[in-house]
A = this chain, B = another copy of it.
Amino acid sequence: MNLNPIQLFDPQSFTFTYILNAPGSSDAVIIDPVDVHWERDLLHLQRLNLKLAYVLETHAHADHITSAGKLREMTGARAAVPGGCGISQADVQLKDGDIINFGDGEEITVLHTPGHTVGSVSYVWRGNVFTGDTLLINGCGRTDFQGGSAESLYDSISKLYTRLDEDTRVWPGHDYKGQSVSTIGWEKQHNARLSGRDRDAFVHLMNELHLPKPKMIDVAVPANRNLGIPHGV
């Protein structure tokens, strides 16, 4: 049965943070928390009487700083991150196919989905996929920094389309238009960046985007590789 996560939003960076809670247990997992919201997020856990087992990151973000280190410090949760992202301060380095266990038999499966960054992963749990900046609603992440590759992104999204049921809910890392959730089936058919384009046409499109450099990248990526903990602390 599909269980919706709790979806939280950062209006500055348009980032979604997710709280997954294990039915029949107080165990919870948080995905992609944002630095300035660590108190908000702890309050949610407290109000819902949840205990944080893991803080997960989908990648080392370029547009905001994580609160993973802070939440680990405050709750004793373990920080688990994609192995290919250079986040050396984490407790667990994840690779494709790994399973994260929490609660009473809950399993989160790690899918390596490179393309937005070389290390990016997606997390699959109970009919949901948390795609970070790999697959967005009617869009996808950019591919022009941190080992990004339009070829890889095409292959990663194809992997999501192949591996996951059509009714799997897609919970992205961002949305800029007030959308919250989609499905694999809908994206497969309608995604503005991918539908009706073969790999070459997609790569051509992505390589012609010429997006401005993210304002925070030079600060955010090193900070996120340190789980958002200020250096020297």
Contacts and interface: CB of A to CB of B under 8 A. Distances in A.
Contacts of A183: 47-49
A4 B5 contact: yes
Interface residues of A, number: 32
A7 interface: yes
Given A3-B4, A23-B1, A167-B49, A40 B179 contact: yes
Contacts of A37: 178
Contacts of A179: 40, 43-44
A202 interface: no
A49 B185 contact: yes
Contacts of A48: 169, 181-183, 186
Contacts of A6: 4, 7, 180-181
Contact of A181 (B1, B44, B178, B180): B44
A9 interface: yes
Given A37-B178, A40-B179, A178-B40, A47 B186 contact: yes
A162 interface: no
Contacts of A101: none
A8 interface: yes
Nearest to A167: B49
Contacts of A232: none
A11 interface: yes
